[in-house]
Amino acid sequence: MKYNLSEITAVIKDRRTIFPEMFSDRKVHREQVETILNNAIWAPTHGLTQPWSFTVFREEGLQKLSDFLSDTYIKLTPPEAFSEMKLNKLKSRPLMAGAIIAVSLKRDSKSKISELEEIEAIACAIQNMYLTCTAWGLGAFWSTPGLIYKPEMNEFLKLNPEDKCLALFYIGYPKPDLEWPKSHRRPIEYFTTWVEKI
Ligand SMILES: Cc1cc2nc3c(=O)[nH]c(=O)nc-3n(C[C@H](O)[C@H](O)[C@H](O)COP(=O)(O)O)c2cc1C
């Protein structure tokens, strides 16, 4: 065994979505975010395209994101779909985070690699971020409110029209009294076909 597999398995299984309401106000340092991003970029990418871009919101930047999300929700939501609860979440949650990383696909329209594969690579990068947070005892939450896919989001993040924001990745230390959530998965038999004979 090259690495401690039981420890790696423990980190994978212990990774949980920790919602911002469960974060304490303990500071997340810029150097921690750098470590998380330095692990993100070791995800596999077809053709080594490395098709990501990261926008990190910290400190007053979190207020800027909160204002953008709430103002844009108000602007884009027709009255019949408007939810006061959604608006409150978009406004309040960024202010509960130690940092938020907007993870986006930078699309090269001339690329031979399909957009699907580029998106898959970004999902791998986000999993690296998640596992790094878990190892650190940091909570994390992959959030995808509908408006991250709107042109207004691209403009806000200074992305080109063909790019796509794929995640708002919230990071924060859990509250000291938080009982780390448990989860379960169906056994592999449910999903797996073995082909071992002609
Ligand atoms: C692509 C993707 C998008 C997600 N977006 C949201 C979201 O917008 N809101 C949310 O509450 N959870 C979101 N999640 C988190 C899932 O709800 C969560 O991973 C799932 O419930 C399993 O819980 P666990 O992460 O603790 O194992 C997202 C997860 C993925 C992979």
Average pLDDT, consecutive stretches of 10 residues, N- to C-terminus, the chain (198 residues) = 96 98 98 98 97 98 98 97 97 98 94 96 99 98 98 98 98 97 98 98
Kindly report the protein residue whose alpha carbon is nearest to atom 18 of ligand 1: 17
pTM for the whole thing? 0.97
User: 121 with 46: CB under 8 angstroms?
Assistant: yes
**How many Å apart are CA 115 and CA 88, to the nearest integer?**
33
Kindly report the protein residue whose alpha carbon is nearest to atom 7 of ligand 1: 143
Q: Which atom of ligand 1 is nearest to the CA of 19?
A: 11
- DSSP, collapsed to helix, strand or coil, labels residue 32 as helix
Give the pLDDT confidence score for residue 109 in this predicted structure: 83
Give the pLDDT confidence score for residue 19 in this predicted structure: 98
Structure tokens at 59: 């400190």
**How many Å apart are CA 11 and CA 1, to the nearest integer?**
17
CB neighbour list of residue 29: distance below 8 Å, 6 or more residues apart: none
Cα 16 to averaged position of ligand 1 atoms, centre (Å): 9
Q: Which CATH number fits domain 5-175: 3.40.50.970, 3.40.50.300, 3.40.50.1820, 3.40.109.10?
A: 3.40.109.10
Q: Which of 146, 120, 128, 133 is nearest to 17 (CA)?
A: 133
Pocket of ligand 1 contains residue 19 by CB under 6 Å: no
Phi, psi for 56 (deg, rounded to 5): -100, 125
Q: Is the dihedral of CA 79, 84, 88, 90 positive or negative?
A: negative
Beta pairing, strands 52-57 & 99-105: antiparallel
Give the pLDDT confidence score for residue 120 in this predicted structure: 98
Give the pLDDT confidence score for residue 148 in this predicted structure: 98
Give the pLDDT confidence score for residue 144 in this predicted structure: 98
**How many Å apart are CA 28 and CA 119, to the nearest integer?**
27
Torsion of CA 3, 127, 178, 83, to 10 degrees: -170
Pocket of ligand 1 contains residue 86 by CB under 6 Å: no
Q: Which of 37, 45, 39 is nearest to 11 (CA)?
A: 39
Cα 144 to averaged position of ligand 1 atoms, centre (Å): 8
Q: Which atom of ligand 1 is nearest to the CA of 126?
A: 31
- The conformational region for residue 101 under phi > 0 = left, psi -120 to 50 = alpha, else beta, is beta
